[in-house]
Amino acid sequence: MTIDLRSDTVTRPTPPMREAIARAEVGDDQFGDDPTVKRLEARVAELLGKETSLLFPTGMMANETALLTLCAPSTEVVAEGHCHFIDWEDGAPAQLAQVMMRGVPTPDGVLTAEGVEAAIRSPNFNQPRTSAIAVENTHNAAGGKILPLETMRAIRAVAEKHGLPVHLDGARLWNASVATGVPLADFAACADTVMVCLSKGLGCPVGSMLAGPRSILDCAKRNRRRLGGAMRQSGILAAAGLYALDHNIERLADDHARARRLAEMLSSVPGLQVVPPDTNILMVDLAPDVLDAPTLVARLKERGILVTAFTSRRVRFVTHLDVDDAGIEAAATGVREILA
C-alpha cells in the first residue's frame, strides 16, 4: 500500500462525496443557472464574511485573477519572499497581471507589518508604484506556518494607511482557523479578496473560491472568463465543495495532530532538523553529512512512501484525510531506517 505524503491535494473523493457529486442539481453556470454553484458561492461568502464569492477550477487561477483585478500593469505587489505567487506560480503575475512581486525576506515565512511597510514604495516618478499586498495563510513553503491574526490586523492597518488592497492566499486558511480557533471571517476581514482551496485539506477533486466585495468580484468574474475559467455544469464540483464544508473542516485537527506526531518521531533521528509544524505540513532539513533530499525521497519511494524534495536538503511531508496513524508510523520508521 502506498502512503502518499507529497501533498494534501492527493486525496481521492470518498464514496459519500462522490454520491453528493452524483446527486448534484446542475445548470449552465455561465448563464447563472447552476443552483449548486450558487449555493456554494453564497456559503463560502458567508463563512468568510464577504459579500460574494466565485468558484474557480484552481487556486492559482483565483490568485492570478485577484492580482489581475486589483493591480494595474507595471505596479508592484508586496508579499513574503517565498510565497506561492513568487516561488510556485511560474512567473504568472508577470505575464498575466503584468506586475512585479516585491518579496519581503523573513526567517520563517511570517510577514511582519514593519517588513511590509518598509517594502511599500514612496511615490517616485522613476520607481514602480506599490499596488497591493499579498499575504499567505497558512504559508506552504514555510511548513504550513500560521500568520497570526494580530499580525494580519497590523498588516491590514499598514495597507489602509497607504491606501492599498490586501489579497489573502488562503489555500489552507481552513487549517489556520482550525489550529487557532480564530473564525475564518476574522482572518478574512484583514483582506479585500480571499482565495480558499477546496481541493487541498478538504478533500475535493477540483475547486477554489475567490471571495470579496461585489464591486471587486464583478470585475474578477470578467477576468476569470478571460483566463478561461468560466465553467458550465460546475455544480458537480460545487456539490463536492458543499459536502467538504459540512464534513471535512473540523477533522483537519487530526491532520495537525498527525503532523505533530510525525515531527516528534523524526526529531530523535540523527541528521535531521525538524521544523515544528503549526498545521499539516512538516518540513524536515537534512544535515550536510547525510544523504540529500532527492535520495531520501527515492529511497522512501522504494518502500511505498511518497514525499516531496522541497529543496536539495529539505523534505516536505503533508498529512491529509487519506493518511492514518499507521501511515505516519510507517513513514517515521522508513526515514529512521534509511538514515541509520
Ligand X SMILES: Cc1ncc(COP(=O)(O)O)c(C=O)c1O
Find the shortest distance in angstroms from Cβ 39 to ligand X.
21
Q: Is the separation of the CB atoms in 67 and 116 below 8 Å?
A: no
**According to CB under 6 A, which residues from 158 to 197 bind ligand X?**
169, 171, 197
Residue 112, SS3?
Answer: coil
Least spacing, CB of residue 137 vs ligand X, in Å? 9
CA gyration radius, the chain: 20
Give the footprint of ligand X on residues 56-75 (CB under 6 A): 58-60, 63
Cβ at position 135, least distance to ligand X in Å: 11
CB of 122 to ligand X, least distance (A): 30
Helix axes 15-23, 235-247, angle to 10 degrees: 140
**Cell 532539513 -> residue:** 285
Q: Which is nearer to ligand X, 89 or 117 (CB)?
A: 89
Dist CA 148 CA 181 (whole Å): 11
Region near ligand X per CB under 6 A, out of 52-60, 66-74, 150-158, 231-239: 52-60
Q: Give the shortest CB-289-to-ligand X separation in angstroms.
A: 31
Cβ-based neighbour number of residue 68 at 10 Å: 22
**Region binding ligand X by CB under 6 A among candidate stretches 53-61, 216-224, 232-240, 251-259:** 53-61
Could you give the angle at which helices 252-267 and 325-339 cross, rounded to 10 degrees? 20
Using the minimum distance from each CB to ligand X, give the nearer residue, 58 or 98. Answer: 58
What span, in angstroms and rounded, lies between the C-alpha atoms of 43 and 242?
8
CB of 230 to ligand X, least distance (A): 17
Contacts for 202 with CB less than 8 Å, ≥ 6 apart: 174, 241, 244, 245, 248, 249
Q: Nearer to ligand X by C-beta: 6 or 129?
A: 6
Q: How many residues bind ligand X (CB under 6 A)?
A: 12
Candidate residues 34, 76, 136, 255; the one interacting with ligand X per rule CB under 6 A: 136
Beta strands in the chain (DSSP E): 3-4, 52-56, 76-80, 100-104, 130-136, 166-170, 193-197, 208-212, 272-275, 281-286, 305-306, 308-309, 314-318
Instruction: Decide the pairing of beta strands 193-197 and 314-318.
Output: unpaired
Nearer to ligand X, 59 or 143 (CB): 59
For residue 201, state whether it binds ligand X (rule: CB under 6 A): no
Q: Which is nearer to ligand X, 84 or 102 (CB)?
A: 84
Q: Are 67 and 97 in contact (CB under 8 A)?
A: yes
Q: Does 208 bind ligand X (CB under 6 A)?
A: yes
CB of 229 to ligand X, least distance (A): 11
Tell me the CA end-to-end span of the chain in Å, nearest whole number: 23
Name the residue nearer to ligand X (CB basis): 15 or 228.
228
Give the footprint of ligand X on residues 99-118 (CB under 6 A): none
Report if residue 140 touches ligand X, rule: CB under 6 A.
yes
Taking the CB of residue 314, how many other CB atoms lie within 10 A of it? 18
**65 or 140: CB nearest ligand X:** 140
The site string for ligand X over 231-270 (x = CB under 6 A, - otherwise) reads: ----------------------------------------
Phi, psi of 10 (to 5 degrees): -90, 0
Task: Examine residue 279 and tell whether it contacts ligand X (CB under 6 A).
Answer: no
Give min distance, CB of 202 to ligand X, in A: 12
Residue type, 174: W
The footprint of ligand X (CB under 6 A) covers 58-60, 63, 84, 136, 140, 169, 171, 197, 199, 208
